Amino acid sequence: MSTSPRKGFCIYTDTFFQGPILTVRDGDERPYIFDTEVEAQQEIVDHAMTRLQQFLDSERDFKDSLTVDEYVVPVTVQLDGSVIEGHWRMLGKES
């Protein structure tokens, strides 16, 4: 078991009324922590590719399929599993 907090990455999007919110959570609604920034970026790209395929399949409009609002935020996972984002806002427990 680790004796120090570890670093990770979460994916966010900005909303008009709530401000920044997590977009990727596990099945229990806890923040999903990516080990590397690249893994988080790949998740964003995978989601974008899905939207593009939905456009090609006539399931989504063109403008919506090209919009990428998600971004990666570094986080710290505390020893108790608490996830803290860059502004020291607690996000919950890790998955």
Q: In sequence order, what are the residues at sequence separation of 6 or more whose Cβ sits closer than 8 angstroms to the Cβ of residue 86?
A: 73, 74, 75
> What's the pLDDT score for residue 90?
52
Q: Which amino acid is at 33?
A: I
pLDDT at residue 19, rounded to an integer: 84
pTM of the predicted structure, to 2 decimals: 0.80
What proportion of the chain, given as a percentage, has pLDDT over 70?
87
| Lookup: tokens for 1 | 């078991």
Q: What is the C-alpha separation between 69 and 12, in angstroms, rounded?
A: 8
Residues of the chain with pLDDT under 50: 95
Domain membership of residue 1 (yes or no) is: no
Question: 57: how many CB neighbours lie within 10 A of its CB?
Answer: 8
Domain membership of residue 40 (yes or no) is yes
Within a domain: 78: yes
Say how many domains are in the chain: 1
Range of the domain at 60: 6-89
**Cα distance between residue 16 and residue 69, in whole Å:** 12
Would 95 be classed as within a structural domain?
no
Quick one: DSSP state of residue 87? T
